[in-house]
Structure 1
Amino acid sequence: MTMEHVIGLEKALLDPSTRSSQTELDRLLDPSFEEIGASGRLWTRREIVAALIDAPESEPIESANFNGRRIADDMVHVTYETRHEGRHARRSSLWRQVDGRWTLLFHQGTPIPDPGGHPRAGYRYQDSVTVTERSVFLCLAMSE
């Protein structure tokens, strides 16, 4: 397995033809798949497949800054950014290998506020980042 292969699977899930195909979604999404969307909503596999099939997207999702890291023999963590329909988000995915096949186990999207703008009216966000050897913590201090 190469990291490029798993990142390629992630990129395939951004393609409107994959997102509207029951066969492709069944192939790529793990039976235990869950997603925390950029809206904060928790999606089950059944809910996300139904939503994607019922309302297919015609506009491609722009993506950039892909990075992959093996975190166990059978687990890969992929991060990247997307822009779609005026929204910018950081994305994080956990891919699991079972019987030689990679499937997406978990995905989370986190909105990135536009520079100079405020994601929520009345709040000011101050970002501070602490980097350790194994993890990155983003602390958001909110004040009115």
Structure 2
Amino acid sequence: MTIVAAADGSALGNPGPAGWAWYVDETCWRAGGWPHGTNNMGELMAVLDLFHSTAHLPEEPLHILCDSQYVINCITKWMPGWKRKGWRKADGKPVLNVDLLKDIDAAIVGRKYTFEWVKGHAGHDLNEAADDRARDAATAYQAKRAPIHGPGFAGAGPGRAPMNPAAAAGPATGATRAPEPADIPEQPDLFSMFDDGPDPAFPPGPDASLRAVVELERELLDPAVRADPLRAGELLHPDFEEIGASGQRWSRQEVLGMFCEAEAADASLEVLTLNRLDAATALLTYRSVDRRGTALRSSIWQRENGRWQVRFHQGTLEA
């Protein structure tokens, strides 16, 4: 019989207090987290723990509901190529979250599994249940208390929980140490980091206020994300438009078409300003640097239904 489960992650600040959870039903779910992690780490850890928790049932197929295109693409598309390149991306840079990915790569050997993308925060019962538990775990770490771990999977061995990723992360790679047992556990889909609690994009403090929107912009610059129409489409608002340096206006559909047809240059991002225009709108200005030179850019990000999407973008080559 196929095991159907939702897996989700949450981070308050991204990075910040983070949680993960998988959910089958009220009698079968598990959650955990860390004092400091990212949404992607939480998404990956939820999937990893689900494989660990069902390892005693190796013949049972797993059908995993996930609202993270990042996780689905990592496991079903990108990992084989990364492994061949020594866990490096096409541009030679180290893969992020590599220890969690290596553990997943080992855990899926011999397993039958499928992934199904579901839209987050859209009323899907299993996804909402997993999201609630992941957010609760992140909130617990924010409040400096142990999270509720849940009943787990019947017949599973002792659960495994990761050490604090921040304590083990390499400064250049952001990699985390492999999950290990603990008494109290301490993570390029992209929008599930935004929950219905305090707005993680604008928490108190000037440094933290930049993190979430800036990371989304970096995702949009990632060549791997631009090559994935579904992932890129999630980032662009339905009414998105761009004005280029030539003065030409581009629609959302035209931009997505260009993403698919053109080879994207790997670019870095230097933040200039991030200002909150209103409760649901942020203006980011930055300098991008790639092999063609530098450009000054501005993006307006808008939050609707708990998700941030870019509504407008303009770029001008720097003299």
- The count of residues paired between Structure 1 and Structure 2 equals 112
Contact 1:94/1:105 (CA < 8 Å) preserved in 2? yes
Equivalent residues in 2 for 1:99-138 (5 A)? 99-113=305-319
2:236: which partner in 1?
29
Kindly indicate whether the alpha-carbon contact (under 8 Å) linking 1:29 and 1:45 is maintained by their aligned counterparts in 2: yes
Q: Which amino acid aligns with 1:84?
A: D
Work out which of the residue numbers 202, 217, 220 in structure 2 matches 1:13: 220
Deviation at 1:50, TM superposition (A): 0.2
| Aligned counterpart, 2:104 | none
**Where in structure 1 are there 5+ consecutive unaligned residues?**
114-144
1: CA distance, partners of 2:254 / 2:269: 23
Query: Would the aligned equivalents of 1:94 and 1:106 in 2 still touch at CA under 8 Å?
Result: yes
The root-mean-square deviation of aligned C-alpha atoms, in Å, is 1.3
Q: Which residue of 1 aligns with 2:288?
A: 82
Cα gap change, 1:40 to 1:88, in 2 (>3 Å): farther
SS of 1:13's partner is helix
CA deviations on 1:55-105 (whole Å, 9 max, x unpaired) are 232x31122134311110010000100122323211000000001100000
Question: Tell me, what secondary structure is at the counterpart of 2:221?
Answer: coil
Structure 1 residue 41 displacement after superposition: 1.9
Aligned partner of 1:97 among 285, 298, 303: 303
| Residue of 239, 258, 266 corresponding to 1:60 | 266
Distance 1:9 1:39 in 2: 25
Give, as a single letter, the amino acid of the residue that structure 2 aligns with 1:63: L
Q: Distance in 1 between matches of 2:281 and 2:230?
A: 23
* Whole-Å separation in 2 of the counterparts to 1:62 and 1:100: 27
TM-score relative to the length of structure 1: 0.73
Higher strand share: 1
In the TM superposition, structure 1's runs of 4+ consecutive aligned residues that sit over 4 Å from their partners are none
Matched-pair identity in %: 35
> For the residues of structure 2 that align with 1:70 and 1:16, how far apart are their CA atoms?
28
Question: Which structure would you say has the larger Rg?
Answer: 2
Structure 1 residues 87, 21: closer, same or farther in 2, change over 3 A? same
- AA of the residue aligned to 1:29: L
User: Between Structure 1 and Structure 2, which shows a larger proportion of helix residues?
Assistant: 2
For residue 33 of structure 1, report the CA deviation from its aligned partner: 0.2
Identify the range of structure 1 (23-32 vs 83-92) with the bigger mean alpha-carbon deviation.
83-92
Query: What is residue 188 of structure 2 aligned with on the other side?
Result: none
Q: Deviations over 1:18-42 (max 9, x none)?
A: 1111111111000000001233221
- In 1, Cα distance between the equivalents of 2:262 and 2:269? 21
In structure 2, C-alpha distance between the alignment counterparts of 1:62 and 1:10, rounded to whole Å: 10
* Partner SS, residue 266 of structure 2: coil
